[in-house]
Amino acid sequence: MQQTGLLKDVLARLSVNDMTQMTGLIGREVEMGSPETGLIAGGTGAWAWSLPHSAAAIRGEVVDRSGRVIATAALDPTATSGRFSWDGKTADGNAAAPGAYTLRLTATDATGNSLPAIVHGVGTVTEILAGPGGALQLGVGGLTIPATALVRVSA
């Protein structure tokens, strides 16, 4: 019984230590291993993307969680990677509702073949949370993501 209590105490201290260390991410831009990003009221959305080689055409669609296309854009087909920033407005110029949005890229080469695109959501960390089982999570653009989903942190 004493060992179990001691183990729980050690694990709790480690969790607090991990959370304290993660506070250094607050205010920093992160790239997440998902094509989803969060939009807060009056905010913008951003994604990083990459292709295996340049394309003949690249079309980006901002999609809400229900699958509805909110906005579209043509991207530079000569680039093999880049960033897409969305002003948070729908195609008709109105502000989109706060929530989660995905960037869906359709890229084709000169012969019309589809190119696989990698898309990661980008945002600024606003909070650190202890999730289920003590797993650390990050508040980013109104979304809560597991800390394990990070693929890049900017200085």
Question: How high is the pLDDT of residue 149?
Answer: 94
H or E element at residue 38:
strand 36-39
Delimit the domains of the chain by residue range: 2-153
Global pTM reads 0.84
3-state DSSP assignment of residue 5: helix
Q: What is the pLDDT of residues 55-109, one digit of tens each?
A: 999 999 999 999 999 999 999 999 999 999 999 999 999 999 999 999 999 999 9
Question: How high is the pLDDT of residue 5?
Answer: 57
More confident residue, 1 or 143: 143
Q: Is residue 14's pLDDT more than 50?
A: no
Q: Is residue 115's pLDDT more than 50?
A: yes
List phi, psi (to 5°) of 151.
Answer: -120, -15
The span from the CA of 19 to the CA of 136, in Å, is: 7
List phi, psi (to 5°) of 132.
Answer: -55, 135
What tokens appear for 74 in the block? 């043509």
DSSP string of 67-88, one letter each residue: S-EEEEEEE-TT-SEEEEEE-S
Q: What does the DSSP 8-state code read for residue 135?
A: -
Q: What is the pLDDT of residues 39-48, one digit of tens each?
A: 999 999 999 9
Question: How high is the pLDDT of residue 134?
Answer: 76
Strand duo 36-39 + 114-115: pairing = unpaired
**Percentage of the chain modeled with pLDDT above 70:** 89
What tokens appear for 4 in the block? 């179990």
More confident residue, 56 or 9: 56
**CATH number for the 2-153 domain, one of 2.102.10.10, 3.40.50.1370, 2.60.40.4070, 2.10.109.10?**
2.60.40.4070
Computed from CA positions of residues 38, 43, 44, 46, in that sequence, does the dihedral angle turn out positive or negative?
negative
Q: In 3D, which of 128, 140, 114 has the Cα closest to residue 34?
A: 140
